[in-house]
Structure 1
Amino acid sequence: MPRPGDNPNQCAQGYNCPPPSVSLDPYSPFGNRFIDVGAGGPAAFTFTATSSVPWISISPASGSISPSTPEQRVFVSVKDWSQLKDGANTATIKFTATAVAQPRLSVDVVFTATKRTLPNNFKGFVEGSGVISIEAAHATRNTPVNGVSWKELPGYGRTLSGMSTFPRLGNNDVGFAPGSGPSLTLPNGGGITITIYVAPSWNAGEKNRPLSFAVQLDGGAPKTQQFFPQPKPGGLPGAWGGADGFVANAIISVVTTFAGITPGAHTLKVCAIIPNSLINQSDSEDITM
């Protein structure tokens, strides 16, 4: 949304809105945040950006906006995380615009840097920007059952690779009970919403054995996910086609939620039920450490 403007009304509440804000943690894959300064009309102006604290880096800290250069992106980062205290560190970044024959204009942006220090013995994947993203191939344990285990298919899928169970007709071609099949154990950093990205496989007409797997967090009960909807005979599931369907995205997003999860280290396990499920990646969201 544009800033400045009707600032007190530019939030979900619709009134008494605070200044715009951005946040950053040390595990963000990008390492910074950005703020776009743009033209609200034809008049040219110059701007400066200053911080209320010395530990913020602003680049560029000044610039000019005109009809020929109507926008400038300003990157904000933390100079040295070791100088910050654990928890939330808040600062104000002030943008000041100066234009000919117009009063000087200032807009404050609240910047929050949240520092998290991990225990020395911690091993696993850490939340960055509110999400933990784990490639299925990066599991810490691959536990076989009755000679059936997960194997990597390099280059398969939209990211690193895919993981599928082999041999394809193992376990005498009989499925596993939820939580008892071959499992991939993925270290996870405390979350309530887990998304498993699965290749858009086909049930192959096996009405009584739809593709499925189980998701288990720590020692809790496994949750069965039958991710491929059962279509009408001779038809396709509604989500198969379309501009945002399984085929167009080359992926099926399987969402599992867990309640009452405390902050800290957790273990995520994906267990095979029916052979031929092929997973690519796992994301966890709404996480607090």
Structure 2
Amino acid sequence: MPALKWPAASINKPPGVAIEGGNTNLELPSLNRYGPKSRWIEIYSTSNSSSSYKVESDIWVNATPLNGTIKAPGDTADQRVLLSINWETAPIGKTSSKVKITAGSTTATITLPIDNSQISEAYTGFVESNKTISIEPEHYTTATSSSTASYGIIPGYGRTLSGVTLLPITADSQTPPASPKLS
């Protein structure tokens, strides 16, 4: 691989802005109470210079950090800004916020769709978020065992509540329709 070099110090180009998901229309993926806790915006240097930046948005949008300086070359040549929502003060229902980034001579307005819908306290089940329904493996509906194998729960396995595995681990290969099934 060829050696990497910074642009010459005399080059002074404005900073760039990139967003999570790479949408060129500058629209972030939606946020709601049941999905990811934050989205991100990246402010980066495109030359060998420094620029200050600031983030402006609705009061219910928390931006961390709100302002700072990017300086190239070095470890401060870019800055990731995390956006989260104060759900108690955000408007109820579906809306969007505009997040304005000013970095040097660059200005970008990014749309952050928000869904502040709440499910009833009495609801039991799994909530869709970000076009996904995530169900911990131990919350399966039915488990069917074979004469030589069955499913067992592994508490705390992975990023969620649990994992599920076929036991015993030395069981021979199983063939449908007599094999164990998990739904």
Q: TM-score, normalised by structure 1?
A: 0.46
1:50 aligns to 2:48 (yes or no): no
Unaligned runs of 5+ in 1: 12-16, 99-103, 169-198, 205-209, 213-272, 283-289
Q: State the 1:38 CA deviation.
A: 1.0
Match of 1:101 in 2: none
SS at match of 2:138: helix
- State whether residues 137 and 163 of structure 1, in contact with CA within 8 Å, keep that contact through their aligned partners in structure 2: no
Alignment counterpart, residue 34 of structure 2, candidates 14, 20, 27: 27
Bigger helix fraction: 1
Counterpart-to-counterpart distance in 2, 1:92 and 1:276:
51
Instruction: Give a deviation string over 1:114-137, Cα, whole Å, max 9, x none.
Output: 122213431012123332222221
- State whether residues 17 and 44 of structure 2, in contact with CA within 8 Å, keep that contact through their aligned partners in structure 1: no
Q: State the 1:70 CA deviation.
A: 0.9
Unaligned runs of 5+ in 2: 1-14
CA gap of 1:149–1:203, structure 2 versus 1, over 3 A, is closer
Match of 2:164 in 1: 162
Match of 1:275 in 2: 179
Counterpart-to-counterpart distance in 1, 2:156 and 2:102:
49
Alignment of 1:1-289 (within 5 A): 3=16, 18-28=25-35, 30-51=36-57, 53-67=58-72, 68=74, 69-81=76-88, 83-86=90-93, 88-98=94-104, 104-139=105-140, 141-142=141-142, 151-154=151-154, 160-164=162-166, 204=173, 211-212=175-176, 273-276=177-180
Q: State the 1:143 CA deviation.
A: 6.3
- State whether residues 142 and 150 of structure 1, in contact with CA within 8 Å, keep that contact through their aligned partners in structure 2: no
Counterpart-to-counterpart distance in 1, 2:17 and 2:79:
15
CA gap of 1:25–1:148, structure 2 versus 1, over 3 A, is farther
SS at match of 1:134: coil
Aligned AA for 2:112? Answer: F
Counterpart-to-counterpart distance in 1, 2:52 and 2:111:
21
Aligned AA for 2:116? Answer: K
Q: State the 1:46 CA deviation.
A: 0.6
Q: TM-score, normalised by structure 2?
A: 0.69
- State whether residues 32 and 76 of structure 1, in contact with CA within 8 Å, keep that contact through their aligned partners in structure 2: yes
Instruction: Give a deviation string over 1:10-67, Cα, whole Å, max 9, x none.
Output: 96xxxxx633434211111x4111111111111211100101x221111111011112
Paired residue total: 162
- State whether residues 203 and 211 of structure 1, in contact with CA within 8 Å, keep that contact through their aligned partners in structure 2: no
Instruction: Give a deviation string over 1:144-170, Cα, whole Å, max 9, x none.
Output: 6899995424269756322448xx9xx
Q: State the 1:275 CA deviation.
A: 2.2
Greater alpha carbon shift after TM alignment, 155-164 vs 36-45: 155-164
- State whether residues 49 and 93 of structure 1, in contact with CA within 8 Å, keep that contact through their aligned partners in structure 2: yes
Percent same amino acid among aligned pairs? 18
CA gap of 1:72–1:211, structure 2 versus 1, over 3 A, is farther
- State whether residues 89 and 113 of structure 1, in contact with CA within 8 Å, keep that contact through their aligned partners in structure 2: yes
CA gap of 1:131–1:146, structure 2 versus 1, over 3 A, is closer
Give the RMSD, CA atoms, in angstroms: 3.8
Aligned AA for 2:108? Answer: V
